Structure 1
Amino acid sequence: MARSALSDPALRTAQPASRTGLALGLLAGLALALPFAFAAVPPMDDYPAHLARLFVIDPGPGHPDLARHYRIDWRWTGNLGTDLAILPLARLIGLEPAARLVALLIPVLTGWGLVAVEWSLRRRVGVGALLAMIAVWSPPLRMGFLNYALAVALALWAFALWVRLAERADQRGAGRRGLVFGPVGLVVWLAHVSGWGVLGLMVLGFEIARRRGEGWRGLVAAGLATWPLWPPLAVMLATGGPGGGAALFAGDPGSLAYKKDMLLQVLRGDWRLFDLACLGLVLLAIVEARGRGRLDRRLVIPALLLLGAALVLPRHFAGGDFADARLGPVALMLGCLAIDWPLTLRSAGPVLALLGLRLGLMGAAWHAQAEELARLLPALDQVPRGARVASAVVRDRQAWTYAPFGHVGAWATLRRDALVNAHFALPGIHALQLREAGADFADPSQELTWQAGQDGQDGQEGQAVDLRAFAPARQADYLWYVGPAASVSGRAAPPPVILPPGATILFRTDRSLLARLAPAR
């Protein structure tokens, strides 16, 4: 009888009650935390650097070496999202549990933010919100850009609120929106300046869509309508923005080949063919909705603005890396949200199956990467407290799968109070600054690249990685090397490294080693 009911065409095309669709959207958003069940430590590239910075900011008693190695240049800037969220919580449950909880909540808040936007626009949750969740675990979140990812989640919630208040378009409503969004914009900016920019483009696109047919006057009015979000701009212009001075607007926009690869990798995860197939299916759904007249201009225009910004912006902007690549996934999410298609068993089933498969494959990859991290960390047992550790991590540029160990050296600070070159000690951007390191020990300076057919410090495919001239090692007591795994690159990993003269290997795995360096003469 149940099989007969499910095969009934009327049931497959019936629309559930709006509250049922809302519940389904909330459950799907909650499922975005599933990868955390597969890894005790989230294998995000930047994650240990976030942890180490917060550990130095508030280490508790008994860590004198940290004060010798580091100083804190605390300032209010547009890059403090997880710092402000984790530090108070860490005093209650500890730093690493607090960081894990906040990281776990970010994809959930993002998924629920997508639900909030669609609910605000249509008073129901349809296919668009569920399809958009496929883009939540995109490269910025996978790489551990936690401040930015939190800012995007907050921006979606703020945009949903803007949509609701826009329904009260009279004078009183406009004034109320200004009172609300002055502080809201500042909160999103404090989380991350790029997230604040995402919110501004979403609001601008929405206001342009509301003034369709008004010509250039409508464009001017739409721009002026965003005035409640302007206060952080005054702060940035007065201070030079993150990074200071002209760095706010410096950078190369990048080649056409780079931009093409950036867009193709908007859903980059662990399996190239699967990720590209997901992107193709999502784009096909958007094209199909466009053909059926089911794309909502109120979200299409914001999506196009974000896509345009991704194509125009340089990779390095306002002191951040991959500034352009951060915007593509948000544009794709809004493109999916623009699909005005009610939920049915026929429409929801394939979307949820694709989302579940993507999360399951990611969970399997996280489990393997967490096990690899567990094999790397015992090297720190050989490092005395307060030592200086030069971290050298080799990346394979041609690899599709993420190898999340670029900042693995930060664990030496967390576990051994060490001075390491693998944080983000960038003036005017992060609070953490190196106190005693020289020019050779710049931070970050840990990353090397390896690619077939390219000369360089790390050599060509089949050649040994040569670290005799690795600058940070000149001012370090220990050298911690991590190479690319063959399973990640799809090719043979480089042979063992050539170490600086006098180095003694203390610990080794098939892809890493820890060596004690000879004292500098």
Structure 2
Amino acid sequence: MQDDRLHWWQTRWFVIAAVLAAAIPLLWPDIPPIVDLPGHMGRYRVQLDRGAHPWLADWYSFKWALIGNLGVDLLIEPLAPLVGLETAVKLIVIAIPVLTVAGLLWIAREVHGRIPATALFALPLAYGYPVQFGFVNFALSMGLALCLFALWLRMARLGRIWLRVAVFVPLSCLLWVVHTFGWGVLGVLAFSSELIRQHDRRKDAGSGHWFESLIRAGLGCAPLALPMLLMIAWRSGADVTGQTADFFYWRTKIAWIVMALRDRWLWFDIGSMAVIYLVLFKALRDPRIGYSRHLGLSALFMLAVYIVLPRIVFGSAYADMRMAPYMIAVAVIAIRPKPGTTFRHAAVLAALGLAFFVVRLAGTTISYLEFDRDYDQELAALPHVPVGARLISFVGHNCHNAWRMSRLEHLPAIALVRRLAYTDDQWSMAGAQLLTSRYTAAGPYAHDPTQIVTSVKCPAEWWRPANYALARFPREAFDYVWLIRPPVYNPRFTVGLVPIWRSPTSNSVLFRIDHDVVVPEASDEELGVPRWLIERIKRRRERLEALRERREREEERLERLRVEQAR
């Protein structure tokens, strides 16, 4: 017999407490310390103030367009004038884990009738690796998608199918605007649950054929299909760029599953994933517990999408990685006691799940406090940057994929946020975002990833060695140089750079450029460019020169033909 009493982890008060607790790591930092977020904040500043400061329009092109990547960009419009840009961004980012935890618990409640004790082990995935990377529009759409899926299930359970049709046509379009990925995941979740629902209905009526259920499930998800037209219009635009590539990179796909909770400490994050996988494995082996068919099928569908997804979609990298934490979370909340069985140790399991959630929250909070301290130390340079300055920044990095990312990769954009200065870390992908760089004087130092420098040339990366960047950047295009924890560099290449601020805790320094000083010449070898790359560049230049000469000869031939025809 099933116990009709609600246990403490199934009560409304616990759900409210868990949802609010999800915000704790983000409460203290002024800027949520996630990798790409400062870069996005720079774009929001241009979006809000480009009309008030004409030099922003000289440096950046910003054009509104209907694309599937506008979640935070749109929310900033009403919020920033009320509370300021940085506070608005912080509030929106706080909403992401809150929505994710709420969605996971709500889905578990709708599918199982009450929240299983094991569902608590899924909650730390609200701070999964995609969130740490700063994919804010994506993460916001995923939190919303989980909540909308729970609403989809609830309306089906209550028999409000036609009302669901009317509600989800506009909601699916709004979710697509937030980010395409969230809409796609909602479609996968809704189709899998609708497939099971239709099959059970047909089975009860004596005609439980899967093919018929597939057709009916597809028709049932038709209210979610309207954004397909928006997608076609977006991707067929004249200004759209970006390739789709890198299919079936098995090593990285396995790595993303292992790194789903990657933050600061490798042992802590890998150990946490081991706990989650132990729970998933236990559900396969324990005869008293199993997987819900609704959510089990949803997790399998998400796994299929994860396998098929390439690493790069429409020029946006890490497409497959983004799915991993949410796929695992859905698999965890699919676990439940088997019908007709009682699980006497459920309270112990719930207590372990709660302890796991609290420990992960504590670890994330400490990690964010440390990153916030790093931000404060480096941003002390900004009061020395004049408003409207032309600033180029170089942020130190390394060639190996360190587990703890510095979170400083896009910190230069805060100079754009607070000082309305030009920064070279903005993305410039037409059709993928609303902003592109138009500051031609910066040449090849105009946009991301030119702000990242290393001690040597890293294989398969665009990053420049620090010596090369300091010696070759166009000094006439900039007024200031901001080095943020750079690798060791040769002071010879800072001739003409006058230090006006140095960090007391790191090797970061802010320079003013003295344009009257002649920059010393340096060969590629002196600047740390490996010989193989020099040879490759030389061959490429020779090919381009040959193509130019061939084009000139062809133009001369065509001109002679036109002259002869005119005669």
Superposition TM-score, scaled by structure 1 size: 0.86
Aligned counterpart for 2:94 among listed residues 101, 104, 119: 104
Alpha-carbon deviations, 1:87-122, whole Å to 9, x = none?
212222222112111111221111111121112223
- Whole-angstrom distance in 1 between the partners of 2:424 and 2:331: 40
- The verdict on how the C-alpha distance between 1:457 and 1:238 changes in structure 2, with shifts beyond 3 A counting, is closer
| More off after superposition, 212-221 vs 385-394 | 212-221
Q: Do structure 1's residue 436 and structure 2's residue 423 form an aligned pair?
A: no
- AA of the residue aligned to 2:214: L
- 1:73–1:432 contact (8 Å) kept in structure 2: yes
Residue number in structure 2 paired with 1:261? 255
Task: Say if 1:225 and 1:473 are closer, same or farther in 2 by CA, change over 3 A.
Answer: farther
1:242 Cα deviation (Å)? Answer: 8.7
Over 3 Å counting, the alpha-carbon distance change for 1:390 and 1:15 in structure 2 is farther
d(CA) in 2 for partners of 1:103, 1:497 = 40
Match of 1:189 among 164, 176, 179: 176
5+ long unaligned stretches in structure 1: 1-12, 485-493
Offset of residue 56 of structure 1: 1.7
- String of CA shifts for 1:208-233, please: whole Å, max 9, x gaps: 33355633443343333321111111
Q: Residue in 1 aligned with 2:189?
A: 202
Measure, in 2, the Cα distance between the counterparts of 1:174 and 1:194. 25
Greater alpha carbon shift after TM alignment, 465-474 vs 66-75: 465-474
Q: Report which stretch shifted further, 202-211 or 406-415.
A: 202-211
After TM superposition, give the deviation of residue 346 of structure 1 in Å: 0.7
Change (3 A) 1:238 1:458: closer
Q: Which residue of 2 aligns with 1:180?
A: 167
Which residue of 1 is the match for residue 397 of structure 2?
395
1:465 deviates by 5.4
Q: TM-score, normalised by structure 2?
A: 0.79
Task: Give the aligned partner of residue 378 of structure 1.
Answer: 380
Q: Distance in 2 between matches of 1:355 and 1:497?
A: 47
Q: What is the match of residue 124 of structure 1?
A: 114
> What SS does structure 2 have at the residue aligned with 1:136?
helix
1:6 paired residue number? none
Paired residue type of 1:314: P
* Alignment partner, residue 327 of structure 1: 323
CA spacing shift, 1:246–1:442, aligned 2, 3 Å: closer
Q: Per-residue displacement from partner, 1:380-416 (whole Å, max 9, x unpaired)?
A: 2332221222222233333111311111110111122
Q: Deviations over 1:480-512 (max 9, x none)?
A: 22237xxxxxxxxx3246646533333333242
Worse overlay, 218-227 or 320-329: 218-227
- 1:160 aligned to 2:150? yes
Shift of 1:285: 0.7
SS in structure 1 opposite 2:469? coil
Counterpart of 2:226 in structure 1 is 231
What is the CA–CA distance in structure 2 between the aligned matches of 1:471 and 1:294, rounded to whole Å? Answer: 60
Change (3 A) 1:385 1:139: same
Equivalent residue, structure 2, for 1:407: 410
RMSD (Å) for aligned C-alpha atoms:
3.0
Q: Is the 8 A contact 2:96 2:139 kept in 1?
A: yes
Corresponding residue of 2:17: 27
Correspondences of 1:1-40 after superposition (within 5 Å): 16-17=6-7, 20-40=10-30
Going from structure 1 to structure 2, the CA distance change for 1:244 and 1:168 (only over 3 Å counts) comes to: farther
Classify 1:242/1:329 alpha carbon distance in 2 versus 1 (closer, same or farther; 3 Å). Answer: farther
Give deviations 1:71-91, integer Å, cap 9, x for gaps: 320112211111222221222
Seen in structure 2, the aligned counterparts of structure 1 residues 465 and 302 have a Cα distance that, compared at 3 Å, is farther
- SS state at 2:397 partner: strand
Aligned partner of 1:139 among 113, 124, 129: 129
Contact kept, 8 Å, 2:9 with 2:117, in 1: the verdict is: no
Query: How many residues are matched?
Result: 493
Moved more, 496-505 or 98-107: 496-505
CA distance in 2, matches of 1:431, 1:453: 31
Structure exhibiting the larger radius of gyration computed from Cα positions: 2
Distance 1:443 1:357, change over 3 A: same
CA distance in 1, matches of 2:193, 2:146: 13
Aligned to 1:487: none
SS in 1 for 2:27: helix
Q: Partners in 1 of 2:20 and 2:235 — Cα distance?
A: 39
**1:154-212 deviations in whole A, cap 9, x for unaligned?**
1011101111222356xxx4433221111110111111111111111111222233355
Q: Name the residue aligned to 1:346.
A: 348
Task: After TM superposition, give the deviation of residue 40 of structure 1 in Å.
Answer: 2.7
Q: For residue 269 of structure 2, what is the aligned residue in structure 1?
A: 275
Match of 2:214 in 1: 219
Deviation at 1:451, TM superposition (A): 8.6
AA aligned to 2:230 is V
Which residue is 2:360 aligned to?
Answer: 358
Between 215-224 and 386-395, the greater mean CA deviation after superposition: 215-224
**In the alignment, which residue of structure 1 is the partner of 2:531?**
none
Matches within 5 A, 1:493-508: 494-496=487-489, 499=493, 502-508=496-502
Whole-Å separation in 2 of the counterparts to 1:239 and 1:76 = 7
Residue type at the aligned position of 2:391: V
CA distance in 2, matches of 1:85, 1:128: 34
Q: Which residue of 2 aligns with 1:513?
A: 509
Change (3 A) 1:28 1:19: closer
**Do structure 1's residue 303 and structure 2's residue 303 form an aligned pair?**
no
Q: Deviations over 1:440-467 (max 9, x none)?
A: 233223353659995688789xxx7542
2:479 to 463, 477, 480: 477
Query: Match for 1:36: what amino acid?
Result: L
Matched to 2:6, the amino acid is P
Say which is worse superposed, 343-352 or 105-114, in terms of deviation. Answer: 343-352
The farther-off stretch of 426-435 and 150-159 is 426-435
Q: 1:433 to 1:454 in 2, by over 3 A?
A: closer
Distance in 2 between the 1:241 and 1:394 partners? 38
CA contact (8 A) 1:406 1:446 kept: no
- Label 1:314 to 1:101 Cα distance change in 2 as closer, same or farther (>3 A): same
Code of the residue aligned with 1:410 in structure 2: it is A
Q: Which moved more, 1:46-55 or 1:451-460?
A: 451-460
1:355-375 Cα distance to aligned partner (Å, 9 max, x none): 111111111111111111111
SS at structure 1 position matched to 2:319: coil
| Inter-CA distance 221–111: structure 2 relative to 1 (3 Å threshold) | same
Please state how far the C-alpha of 1:270 moved relative to its aligned partner: 1.2
1:369 and 2:371 correspond: yes
Letter in 1 for 2:446: A
1:65 and 1:331 mapped to 2: Cα distance? 45
Q: Which letter does structure 2 place at the counterpart of 1:188?
A: L
CA distance in structure 1 between the aligned counterparts of 2:510 and 2:174, rounded to whole angstroms: 42
Structure 2 gaps of 5+ residues are 200-207, 338-342, 519-567
Structure 1 residues 406 and 459, CA gap change in structure 2 (3 angstroms): closer
Deviates most, 327-336 or 429-438: 429-438
AA paired with 2:396? V
| Structure 1 residues 60 and 423: alpha-carbon distance in aligned structure 2, compared to 1, 3 A threshold | closer
Preserved contact between residue 68 and residue 435 of structure 1 (Cα < 8 Å): yes
Q: Which moved more, 1:205-214 or 1:179-188?
A: 205-214
Q: In the aligned structure 2, how far is the partner of 1:378 from the partner of 1:18?
A: 47
Report SS of the residue matched to 1:391.
strand
Q: Does the CA-based 8 Å contact 1:440-1:475 persist in structure 2?
A: no
